[in-house]
Structure 1
Amino acid sequence: MTIESNPSDPKPTTENDWEPDDFDGAASEHCLTPEGLTNQQTLAAIASLQSPQNTASLKQARSSPSTATIYPVTVKPRALVITLVGITITIVGLALNSWIIGVVGTVVTLLLSLAILLPWLQYVISQWFSPLDRTLAVAFLGIVVALLGLVNFTGLGAYIIQWESKINWDIAGSLAEWFGALGQILIAIIAVYVAWRQYVISKDLTIQQNLLTVQQNIITQQQTIDSYFQGVSDLVLDEEGLLEDWPQERAIAEGRTAAIFSSVDGSGKAKILRFLSRSKLLTPLKRDRRLGRAILNGTGGYAEDRLEGVRVIDLGVMLAGADLADTDLRWTDLSEANLVRANLSGCDLVKANLSRTILYDANLNGADLNSVRLFYGSADKASPRSRTAPPDYQTGAHTGAVVENADLTNVKRLSESARYYCCTWGGEKTRDTIPGGCEGIPNKLV
């Protein structure tokens, strides 16, 4: 099968193009190897196809030979034969121990082998070393040769030899040992530095991992709280959004609240308390005695009944011993909640309702108590809650919080009436922590 050449090529093919020299790769750039000839014939055949469907194939065929024939090593068979003959002559010379035959074979083999490898060496150098690398290599070689020349021709070499002969090599050996010991010390210092850097990097990675874990926990906690908000709202509200809670629904709501309090931190507890308080779910609401439903107050809200009202969620002992330090509890209704030994230090309790709240042994250090309600009625008649006597919200008897043994150190904006009540019913331990002191105020717990 024959393939016609490209008729558009103005340069005819001559016999010299088909008969290259023995070492075409080194002597000429216009040589044709069997692979190159095949590629050119393939290009000629593809170029003759002018249909658009063959355009992509034409581009691919033109690009592939250019990358495959960079610095080819093409040798005619007779050059290889001569090289093999030279190798054979060398081996025969070695076998016969003939100096003449061995030298002739060695020279012929060496020259032919170098001629064959020369194009490949040129290709390797051009591919592995850039012109800048080659220039720098020559420059460094020149510096080395120049230094050798200076040492040899300026007499510096003789001076170095003379100076070396005067050295006490025993002392030099001792210095070498000292330098060796110093090197070991430096290696130990470097090892300690590397170990320290590894520790620092590991510590930084641990801190970052902990921060990521904290952020993930915060996101998970917020998702849990949002789910709780939605669940409680769906439980106690009807389709019209009105409060329609029944005993079992209130029990389930209290169970959900107690469960989520045990799985969130102080900030999460504060969010839940603010939601429940502002939603009137912690406030005792006036009920229809026959149906038990909350009654509207006629002004757009639900009527409160502190004496006989029913709360949607009764906190009870859910917050006993809870850590609520540095949280926002403004305007929250915590009345009648059991906060014994709770940590409320640094809390914002502005206008919080703490009437009948058990604050026994609670920590209120640094809390903001501006306008906080600790009792109803007047301070001189108010008294803490009682297990047996009902509260009187007119006089304030048995409506106050239990503040015995509470820590009120550094509390902020404590009103005079609240200070009077805490001094009266707080006991000796509480009186010692109240800002401004309790001089002149009677202690009714003696």
Structure 2
Amino acid sequence: MMTESNSPHPPNPEPLPADDFDSGIEKNHLTPEALATKESLTKIASLQSPQNTNAWQQAHSNIKHYTISQFTVKPRALLLTLIAIAITFVGLVINNWIIGILGTAITLVLSLTMLLPWWQYVVKKWFYAQDRTLFIAFVGLVVGMIGLLKFTGLGDRLQIWLKQIGWEASGTLAEWFGALGQISIAIVAVYVAWRQYVISKDLTIQQNLLTVQQNIITQQQTIDSYFQGISDLVLDEEGLLEDWPQERAIAEGRTAAIFSSVDGSGKAKIIRFLSRSKLLTPLKRDRRLGRAILDGMGGYAEDRLEGVRVIDLGVMLAAADLSSNDLRWTDLSEANLVRGNLSNCDLVKANLARTILYGANLSGADLNGTRFFYGSLEKASPRSRTEPPNYQTGEHTGAVVENADFTNVQRLPEMTRHYCCAWGGEKTRATIPGGCEGIENKLGR
């Protein structure tokens, strides 16, 4: 019953809500553990290397997102619940079942309504979707067994059989309850162990993510330090290239050492840096001083035949995994990439002349404008151990492509296709897109 206020100025009436229980818009919330993991993933994303992408995505998919309904209970609903509780107690005191059942029903409805969002949150937080599915399936199995016993007559037969059992000989009822208690304890222990396993797995995933992040940061710092060290080593105070034999030897040693401690993405970054810095290109030298000579157009003059490279890669990249990396406009000429993995690499305008690609995997690589030889197609041939290259005619300037895999390479130039068919051997010819029909196998094997 509503009572009037004693104040001469009654308060301004407020618009009554349509419902005392306002369910807000659903929002995505993360548990504290998942929030920390999410921050780690955000930091990793910008530095992630292709070799860690699968592991990163798998770990990211394991973060648990919970949908919590923002549920607000109006003060009026709380007041109604308290009144319903009071009515229930009044019914108990005066022993009136009508008042008691009315208060009980209202109390149950209001209490369950307020507790429903919390129960939804608890279920989503502590049980995966698969666990909920298994629980419902288990309940369905139990209900199905009960229905089977009830409606097939098996229950009546079981009841008759139970009446014929001598329960005194089978033990007391307390022993049965004791057995049930032990079973319950075992079930609880299994549940606790299962929860510990789930928590341990989540912590392991987070630790792995942090480890990956730390490794990426450490690798990038190592590469940056290498870049700075090489620059300081080969440049003078005026920024000109001044590399003496010992400096070149130290630069090659540093490069060989860092190649063994970084992944494919790190190797690609180093190759791009060295190539664009002209440190992998044979430069024309002063015969007396050994210094690189300027070309008169703001750069250093190249000398493919007698030039000296600041850093000679040699066998540093033999059997290296460089798959799915950007190697555009890089100078890998005369490098030993035997059994190297260059699959799905971007090799646009890369220089692979006299490169050893024996047994290399170039499947899916982009070979648009990639140089495999100098001179004319008719005269071009692979490098030789005994014969010097002729960069005018193309003899002995080509890459060694025997047993290489060219499956599904992209934008393969026609001249490159002819060269690879002619000098690749039967195994290579079988993988070249477009086939090698009508092209002579000059390798003979």
How does the TM-score come out when normalised to structure 2?
A: 0.61
Change (3 A) 1:184 1:434: farther
Counterpart of 2:267, as a letter, is K
Corresponding residue to 1:358 among 347, 356, 359: 356
Kindly state the Cα deviation for residue 362 of structure 1 after the two structures are TM-superposed.
0.6
1:351 alignment partner, SS class: coil
Aligned residue in 2 for 1:259: 257
Aligned residue in 1 for 2:370: 372
Corresponding residue to 2:315 among 302, 314, 317: 317
Whole-Å separation in 2 of the counterparts to 1:135 and 1:176: 43
Residues 153-302 of structure 1 aligned to structure 2 (within 5 Å): 191-302=189-300
1:29-80 CA distances to partner (integer Å, 9 max, x unpaired)? xxxxxxxxxxxxxxxxxxxxxxxxxxxxxxxxxxxxxxxxxxxxxxxxxxxx
Whole-Å separation in 2 of the counterparts to 1:355 and 1:175: 90
Larger radius of gyration: 1
Aligned residue in 1 for 2:137: none
Kindly state the Cα deviation for residue 384 of structure 1 after the two structures are TM-superposed.
0.3
Whole-Å separation in 2 of the counterparts to 1:413 and 1:297: 33
Counterpart of 2:207, as a letter, is Q
Change (3 A) 1:399 1:200: same
Change (3 A) 1:178 1:347: farther
1:288-331 CA distances to partner (integer Å, 9 max, x unpaired)? 00110000000000000000000000000000011111111111
Whether 2:430 is the aligned partner of 1:442: answer no
Whole-Å separation in 2 of the counterparts to 1:229 and 1:318: 17
Whole-Å separation in 2 of the counterparts to 1:292 and 1:208: 54
Whole-Å separation in 2 of the counterparts to 1:356 and 1:384: 7
How does the TM-score come out when normalised to structure 1?
A: 0.61
Whole-Å separation in 2 of the counterparts to 1:343 and 1:244: 34
Whole-Å separation in 1 of the counterparts to 2:377 and 2:202: 56
Whole-Å separation in 1 of the counterparts to 2:199 and 2:86: 44
Aligned residue in 2 for 1:389: 387
Whether 2:423 is the aligned partner of 1:425: answer yes
Kindly state the Cα deviation for residue 202 of structure 1 after the two structures are TM-superposed.
2.1
Counterpart of 2:442, as a letter, is K
Tell me the number of residue pairs that the alignment of Structure 1 and Structure 2 aligns: 297
2:416 alignment partner, SS class: helix
Counterpart of 1:376, as a letter, is Y
Whole-Å separation in 2 of the counterparts to 1:414 and 1:432: 15
Whole-Å separation in 1 of the counterparts to 2:385 and 2:407: 28
Aligned residue in 1 for 2:402: 404
Kindly state the Cα deviation for residue 188 of structure 1 after the two structures are TM-superposed.
5.4
Counterpart of 2:419, as a letter, is Y
Whole-Å separation in 2 of the counterparts to 1:176 and 1:440: 93
Kindly state the Cα deviation for residue 445 of structure 1 after the two structures are TM-superposed.
1.3
Counterpart of 2:245, as a letter, is P
4+ runs of 1 displaced by more than 4 Å?
A: 134-147, 173-194
Change (3 A) 1:357 1:137: same
Residues 108-187 of structure 1 aligned to structure 2 (within 5 Å): 145=93
Whole-Å separation in 2 of the counterparts to 1:415 and 1:263: 35
Whole-Å separation in 1 of the counterparts to 2:325 and 2:180: 59
Whole-Å separation in 2 of the counterparts to 1:409 and 1:175: 76
Kindly state the Cα deviation for residue 211 of structure 1 after the two structures are TM-superposed.
1.1
1:209-230 CA distances to partner (integer Å, 9 max, x unpaired)? 1111111111111110000000
Kindly state the Cα deviation for residue 199 of structure 1 after the two structures are TM-superposed.
2.6
1:97-139 CA distances to partner (integer Å, 9 max, x unpaired)? xxxxxxxxxxxxxxxxxxxxxxxxxxxxxxxxxxxxx999987
Kindly state the Cα deviation for residue 185 of structure 1 after the two structures are TM-superposed.
6.4
Unaligned runs of 5+ in 1: 1-133, 151-167
Kindly state the Cα deviation for residue 198 of structure 1 after the two structures are TM-superposed.
3.1
Q: Would you tell me which structure has more strand in proportion to its own residues?
A: 2
Whole-Å separation in 1 of the counterparts to 2:403 and 2:89: 90
Counterpart of 1:220, as a letter, is T
1:390 alignment partner, SS class: coil
Change (3 A) 1:180 1:221: same
Instruction: Give the CA RMSD over aligned residues.
Output: 3.2
Counterpart of 2:241, as a letter, is L
